[in-house]
Amino acid sequence: MNATCSCDQCSGKATLWMKGDEIVRVTARKDQWGEVEEFICDTCPYSTWAERKVAAVMQDRIGPNRAGPFALLQPLADGGKFFFKEDFTPANAERFLFVLGPALVMFISLITGAVIPWGKSLNIGGTSFDLQVANIDVGVLYIIGMASIGVYGIMIGGWASNNKYSLIGAIRASSQMISYELAMGLALLSIIMMTGSLDLKVISETQATGKLWGLFAIDGMNWNIFYQPIAFLVFIVAALAETNRHPFDLPECESELVTGYSTEYSSMKLGLYMFGEYVNMFISNAFMVVLFFGGYNYPGIEWVTQHWGENTAGILSIVAFLTKTIIGILIFMWIRWTLPRFRYDQLMHLGWKTLIPMALVNLLVTGAVILAFGS
């Protein structure tokens, strides 16, 4: 195997052990992702399957192909494996907090999705159902609040493991997450200033109709990304950092901190940590789609509502929303298997010294434009 540093198939994961100028040993890792997750909901098992297959395509190899056709049952196999592993608690660990950590991560990741509008309304038996669990006035703020609380699952888990490396991993993870929350909030502010409301349903509605840049109107394509590309860039970088996703996955990198905060976890608790990360990624993508890509709107939504009825438009809007979210997840995975990992000080530098000024400037420019043109 050609494992020099300039080989583009190893993506930097081969380690050269050099003595002076000669290579003594070459080691490479087979399983980079460690143990993978599953269960609980329908889409997430297959996001891990997609991740491994996408990773395989990026790295020019086949990927899992044993458990079922195209390894579609691989996530189930992994989930079953998790149940059968031994579930231990390390010595001198705080038992309550040890169990609470992964539970909190999973819980927070799941309830963040309560305010996302999954589609336009469906009309069943005469009553119109909003496809959103809770339509609150402060939807965006709720998601930011829950993201802030999601930091705790990692911190508590890392501390309760009674392991100094876990603690360092947890502290790094939480400092990374709180740094990028600021950039995310500032990027969100420009969107909120434009839309004028924190309600996610209202944000989706304002992206349905309207003239793009005041010039021409495509039905259902008044998406915020055409107005706020910089905010989108800041948001996607901050979302990658918030979900501890590569290239910001220093907290859980395997070469430096032995999986960081989840070192002492086994079986389903580890499953909950890993799976919580995937749920978080899904919800972050859904949120990004709502904010920037028009939520459930697709081109022609008004026409469909008028001609084919509300139910068809509703179902098509769910399909459109999920398609956009899945494209976002594929882009996240694409980024993961392409870029090397950030060093910790580079990460902090990016968050505080680059993203926050960029988001602030964007905010000022948005405010100036709104003041000047009044829209």
Residues forming the site for other proteins (CB under 8 A): 18, 20-21, 97, 136-138, 141-142, 144-149, 151-152, 155-156, 159, 167, 170-171, 174-175, 178, 181, 185, 197-198, 343, 345
**Smallest separation, CB 340 to other proteins (Å):** 12
**Smallest separation, CB 16 to other proteins (Å):** 11
- Cβ proximity to other proteins: between 47 and 206 the closer is 206
**Smallest separation, CB 363 to other proteins (Å):** 15
- Cβ proximity to other proteins: between 45 and 101 the closer is 101
**Smallest separation, CB 159 to other proteins (Å):** 5
Q: Say whether 188 sits in a helix, a strand or coil.
A: helix
Q: Say whether 308 sits in a helix, a strand or coil.
A: coil
Ramachandran angles phi, psi of 25, nearest 5° = -150, 150
Q: How far apart are CA 154 and CA 318, in angstroms?
A: 32
Q: Are 281 and 245 in contact (CB under 8 A)?
A: yes
- Cβ proximity to other proteins: between 73 and 168 the closer is 168
The alpha carbon of 315 is separated from its chain's Cα centroid by a whole number of angstroms, namely: 24
- Cβ proximity to other proteins: between 155 and 333 the closer is 155
Q: Computed over its alpha carbons, how large is the radius of gyration of the chain?
A: 22
**Smallest separation, CB 155 to other proteins (Å):** 6
**Smallest separation, CB 21 to other proteins (Å):** 7
Ramachandran angles phi, psi of 120, nearest 5° = -75, 170
- Cβ proximity to other proteins: between 97 and 315 the closer is 97
Buried b (16+ CB within 10 A) or exposed e, 7-25: eeebeeebeeeeeeeeeee
Q: How far apart are CA 333 and CA 55, in angstroms?
A: 8
Q: What is the DSSP letter of 210?
A: S
- Cβ proximity to other proteins: between 46 and 152 the closer is 152
- Cβ proximity to other proteins: between 59 and 162 the closer is 162
Q: Which of 59, 149, 142, 74 is nearest to 108 (CA)?
A: 149
Q: Where are the alpha helices (DSSP H) in 249-355?
A: 267-292, 301-307, 310-336, 344-348
Reading the block at residue 52, the tokens are 């491994």
Q: Is the dihedral of CA 35, 39, 44, 49 positive or negative?
A: positive
**Smallest separation, CB 164 to other proteins (Å):** 10
> Quick check: bond before 102 cis, omega within 30?
no
- Cβ proximity to other proteins: between 194 and 198 the closer is 198
**Smallest separation, CB 235 to other proteins (Å):** 16
Q: Is the dihedral of CA 350, 351, 352, 354 positive or negative?
A: positive
Reading the block at residue 352, the tokens are 């505080």
